[in-house]
Protein backbone atom coordinates (compact mmCIF):
# COMPACT_ATOMS: atom_id res chain seq x y z
CA UNK A 1 0.00 0.00 0.00
CA UNK A 2 2.87 2.36 0.83
CA UNK A 3 4.38 1.72 -2.62
CA UNK A 4 1.17 2.77 -4.33
CA UNK A 5 0.90 5.90 -2.18
CA UNK A 6 4.49 6.84 -3.03
CA UNK A 7 3.91 6.16 -6.73
CA UNK A 8 0.71 8.23 -6.68
CA UNK A 9 2.59 11.07 -4.96
CA UNK A 10 5.32 11.01 -7.62
CA UNK A 11 2.75 11.07 -10.42
CA UNK A 12 0.89 13.99 -8.84
CA UNK A 13 4.14 15.92 -8.37
CA UNK A 14 5.10 15.30 -12.00
CA UNK A 15 1.73 16.55 -13.25
CA UNK A 16 1.85 19.65 -11.05
CA UNK A 17 5.41 20.48 -12.15
CA UNK A 18 4.56 19.99 -15.81
CA UNK A 19 1.76 22.55 -15.50
CA UNK A 20 4.02 25.29 -14.14
CA UNK A 21 3.98 28.37 -16.33
CA UNK A 22 6.47 28.08 -19.17
CA UNK A 23 8.98 30.81 -19.83
CA UNK A 24 7.60 33.72 -21.75
CA UNK A 25 7.74 33.50 -25.51
CA UNK A 26 10.33 35.67 -27.18
CA UNK A 27 9.14 38.96 -28.60
CA UNK A 28 10.11 39.63 -32.20
CA UNK A 29 11.29 43.17 -32.76
CA UNK A 30 10.18 44.89 -35.99
CA UNK A 31 13.80 45.16 -37.15
CA UNK A 32 14.77 41.56 -36.27
CA UNK A 33 17.15 39.77 -38.63
CA UNK A 34 18.58 36.27 -38.90
CA UNK A 35 21.96 37.78 -38.05
CA UNK A 36 20.59 39.40 -34.90
CA UNK A 37 18.90 36.17 -33.80
CA UNK A 38 22.15 34.25 -34.28
CA UNK A 39 24.13 36.85 -32.34
CA UNK A 40 21.63 36.53 -29.49
CA UNK A 41 21.99 32.74 -29.62
CA UNK A 42 25.76 32.66 -29.09
CA UNK A 43 26.69 29.53 -27.14
CA UNK A 44 23.32 27.86 -27.76
CA UNK A 45 22.52 24.85 -29.90
CA UNK A 46 20.65 25.73 -33.08
CA UNK A 47 19.63 24.12 -36.34
CA UNK A 48 20.10 26.20 -39.47
CA UNK A 49 17.91 25.57 -42.49
CA UNK A 50 19.74 26.56 -45.62
CA UNK A 51 18.23 27.86 -48.86
CA UNK A 52 19.52 24.71 -50.59
CA UNK A 53 17.18 22.63 -48.40
CA UNK A 54 19.94 21.22 -46.20
CA UNK A 55 19.94 21.45 -42.41
CA UNK A 56 22.98 21.89 -40.22
CA UNK A 57 22.91 21.86 -36.44
CA UNK A 58 25.48 22.83 -33.87
CA UNK A 59 26.47 25.32 -31.21
CA UNK A 60 26.72 28.96 -32.28
CA UNK A 61 30.23 30.32 -31.84
CA UNK A 62 31.19 33.57 -33.48
CA UNK A 63 28.84 35.54 -35.69
CA UNK A 64 30.06 38.22 -38.08
CA UNK A 65 28.18 40.24 -40.67
CA UNK A 66 28.78 37.48 -43.24
CA UNK A 67 29.67 34.21 -41.48
CA UNK A 68 28.33 32.07 -38.64
CA UNK A 69 30.74 29.68 -36.93
CA UNK A 70 29.11 26.46 -35.63
CA UNK A 71 30.95 24.01 -33.38
CA UNK A 72 29.91 20.58 -32.10
CA UNK A 73 27.97 19.79 -35.27
CA UNK A 74 25.03 17.47 -34.78
CA UNK A 75 26.01 14.03 -36.04
CA UNK A 76 29.58 15.20 -36.66
CA UNK A 77 30.74 16.37 -33.24
CA UNK A 78 34.43 16.48 -34.22
CA UNK A 79 33.77 18.97 -37.01
CA UNK A 80 33.04 22.68 -37.15
CA UNK A 81 31.33 24.71 -39.86
CA UNK A 82 31.41 28.21 -41.27
CA UNK A 83 28.07 29.14 -42.84
CA UNK A 84 27.38 32.12 -45.07
CA UNK A 85 24.61 34.18 -43.45
CA UNK A 86 23.05 34.79 -46.89
CA UNK A 87 22.48 31.02 -47.26
CA UNK A 88 20.35 30.72 -44.09
CA UNK A 89 16.59 30.68 -44.53
CA UNK A 90 15.59 29.74 -40.95
CA UNK A 91 17.04 29.37 -37.46
CA UNK A 92 15.54 26.70 -35.21
CA UNK A 93 16.17 27.10 -31.48
CA UNK A 94 14.91 24.69 -28.85
CA UNK A 95 12.36 26.38 -26.62
CA UNK A 96 13.06 25.98 -22.91
CA UNK A 97 10.68 23.84 -20.91
CA UNK A 98 9.34 21.79 -23.80
Domains of the chain: 33-98 (2.30.30.100)
Alpha helix locations (H) across 19-60? 34-40
- DSSP code of residue 10: H
3-state secondary structure 50-69: ECCCCEEEEEEEEECCCEEE
Report pLDDT for 59: 94
Report pLDDT for 98: 53
Report pLDDT for 29: 78
pTM of structure: 0.69
Report pLDDT for 76: 85
Task: Name the nearest CA neighbour of 93 among 51, 27, 36, 46.
Answer: 46
Mean pLDDT split into 10-residue runs, the chain, 98 residues = 45 50 65 88 93 94 94 89 94 76
Question: Greatest CA span in the chain, whole angstroms?
Answer: 64
Amino acid sequence: MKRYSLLLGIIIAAVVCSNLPAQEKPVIQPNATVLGILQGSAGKAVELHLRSGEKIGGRVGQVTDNIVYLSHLTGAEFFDAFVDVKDISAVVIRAAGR
